[in-house]
């Protein structure tokens, strides 16, 4: 079954600290993997996208990695800010019908 | 630049009442359009997608329907709401004809629906 699992479910860190969010998937065949940021009560906004041949992609303080062999991805946030408080969603496109499969997200709270 | 609008932002409806949520996109033509539902603690679930006027594909059997009367307008409807229809409804668009390897879906602000 094509699934996307994220960990942890929630995370609290202090402002200025770094953190890493994990995404494991069982989707096959694989097309791409995207990380979205969703502020509370808003729609998701794309942060990064990686295809099979890419293993690192950065967007400012956000760095995503992809290991297509182990089917794992991570999102590293550097020098966290209060505005980073949001839900981070891992989305994999793939499977027999090449559809988007969404993870349930990691809820990040950055405290002053 | 492209923008996507959804309304209303929040809606409280009694069980058995009808529903109509609207989504419009500006600044682009012939977009792919999508309706998603996000239940508490669950991932986004694709409900409907459309590649053109009057063309609707349903992903899951349910109490809802969708229509696309104009190129940049997508409507989500129900004749009789159920308690299980409560959730956060998101509309999204993407460029039609692009390669799926790089396709980006742009989401609207969402509508929070509470069925009592």
pLDDT tens-digit map of B12-29: 999 999 999 999 999 998
Q: What is the pLDDT of residues A69-103, one digit of tens each?
A: 999 999 999 999 999 999 999 999 998 888 889 99
**Pairwise CA distance, residues A22 & A49, whole Å:** 15
Region A4-32: what's the mean pLDDT?
96
Distant-in-sequence, close-in-space partners of A22: CB < 8 Å, separation ≥ 6: A6, A7, A8, A72, A73, A74
Cβ contact B92:B106 at 8 Å:
yes
A93 contacts B110? CB cut-off 8 A: no
Q: Which residues, 6+ apart, have CB-to-CB distance to A64 below 8 Å?
A: A33, A35, A47, A48, A50, A56, A57, A58, A73, A74, A75, A76
Report the candidate in B105, B94, B87, B69 with the shortest Cα–Cα distance to residue B19: B87
Pick from A42, A93, A104: which is nearest to B41 by CB? A104
Q: What angle do CA B36, A49, A93 make, to 5 degrees?
A: 50
- Among residues A80, A81, A78, A82, which one has the least CA distance to residue A63? A78
User: B43 to chain A: which residues are within 8 Å by CB?
Assistant: 4, 89, 101-105
Q: Do B110 and A100 touch (CB under 8 A)?
A: no
Strand-pairing partners, residue A109, are A12
Q: What is the pLDDT of residue A1?
A: 81
Q: Is B40 on the interface with A (CB under 8 A)?
A: no
Distance of alpha carbon B38 from alpha carbon B34, whole angstroms: 13
Q: Which residue has the tokens 């297509």?
A: A68
Q: Please name every residue paired with A110 in a beta bridge, in sequence order, or none if there are none.
A: A13
> What is the tens place of the pLDDT at every residue in B77-100?
999 999 999 999 999 999 876 666
Would the CB atoms of B110 and A43 count as touching at under 8 Å? Answer: yes
From the CA of A102, how many Å to the nearest CA of chain B? 5
Interface size between A and B, measured as CB pairs under 8 A: 49
Closest CA–CA distance from residue B23 to any residue of chain A (Å): 13
- pLDDT digit string (tens) for B42-72? 789 999 999 999 999 988 767 899 999 999 9
Mean pLDDT lowest for which of A11-20, A29-38, A95-104, B82-91? A95-104
Whether residue A66 lies within 8 A of chain B, CB to CB, comes out as no
% of residues, chain A, pLDDT over 70: 100
A 15-54 → B contacts, CB under 8 A: 31-32, 34, 41-46, 49, 51
């Amino acid at each position: 079954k094509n699934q996307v699992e994220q960990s942890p479910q929630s995370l609290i860190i202090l402002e200025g600290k770094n953190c890493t969010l994990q995404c494991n998937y069982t989707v096959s065949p694989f097309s791409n993997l995207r990380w979205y940021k969703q502020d509370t009560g808003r729609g998701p906004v794309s942060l990064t996208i990686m295809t099979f041949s890419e293993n690192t992609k950065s967007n400012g303080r956000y760095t995503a990695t992809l290991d297509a062999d182990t089917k794992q991805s991570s999102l590293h946030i550097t020098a966290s800010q209060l505005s980073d408080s949001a839900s981070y969603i891992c989305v994999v496109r793939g499977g027999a019908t090449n559809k988007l499969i969404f993870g349930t997200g990691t809820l990040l709270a950055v405290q002053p | 630049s492209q923008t996507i609008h959804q309304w209303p932002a929040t809606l409280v409806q009694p069980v058995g009442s009808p529903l109509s949520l609207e989504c419009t996109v500006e600044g682009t033509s012939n977009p792919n359009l999508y309706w998603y539902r996000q239940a508490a603690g669950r991932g986004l679930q694709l409900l409907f997608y459309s590649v053109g006027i009057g063309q609707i594909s349903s992903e899951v059997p349910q109490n809802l329907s969708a229509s696309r009367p104009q190129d940049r307008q997508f409507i989500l409807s129900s004749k009789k709401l159920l308690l299980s229809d409560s959730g956060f409804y998101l509309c999204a668009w993407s460029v039609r004809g692009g390669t799926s390897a790089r396709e980006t879906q742009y989401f609207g602000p969402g509508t929070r629906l509470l069925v009592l």
